[in-house]
């Protein structure tokens, strides 16, 4: 529970989001992307697949999957920032 609170707070700090629920996350394209990435990281953690590869490979998979799911063009995303956000979330779940 504390890790989830930390991850949500971290996402809020890094991207200006409040959380991963649709009623609190900004409904901008980037807000939806960040919410998707956080949800995917938690899903992967629950099914024990989050740590099967190195964190950067996993972050890339999460980002690419969410871009595809939301039909977001990768040119519209700050890739470095998005990858750093999801890697920070992965690191917080690893502790």
pLDDT along the chain (95 residues), means of 10: 56 50 68 94 95 95 96 90 96 88
What is the model's pLDDT at position 27? 82
Q: How many whole angstroms from its chain centre is CA 5?
A: 14
What is the model's pLDDT at position 7? 58
Domain boundaries, given as residue ranges, for the chain: 2-94
Whole-angstrom distance, CA of residue 38 vs CA of residue 63: 10
What is the model's pLDDT at position 56? 96
What is the model's pLDDT at position 74? 83
**Model pTM?**
0.72
What is the model's pLDDT at position 75? 87
String of DSSP letters for 4-26: HHHHHHHHHHHHS---SSTTTS-
């Amino acid at each position: 529970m504390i890790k989830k609170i930390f991850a949500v707070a971290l996402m809020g700090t890094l991207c200006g989001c409040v959380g991963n629920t649709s009623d609190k996350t900004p409904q901008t394209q980037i807000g939806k992307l960040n919410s998707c990435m956080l949800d995917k990281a938690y899903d992967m953690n629950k099914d024990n697949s989050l740590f099967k590869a190195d964190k950067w490979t996993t972050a890339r998979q999460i980002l690419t999957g969410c871009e595809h799911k939301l039909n977001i063009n990768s040119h519209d995303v700050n890739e470095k920032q998005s990858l750093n956000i999801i890697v920070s979330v992965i690191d917080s779940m690893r502790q």
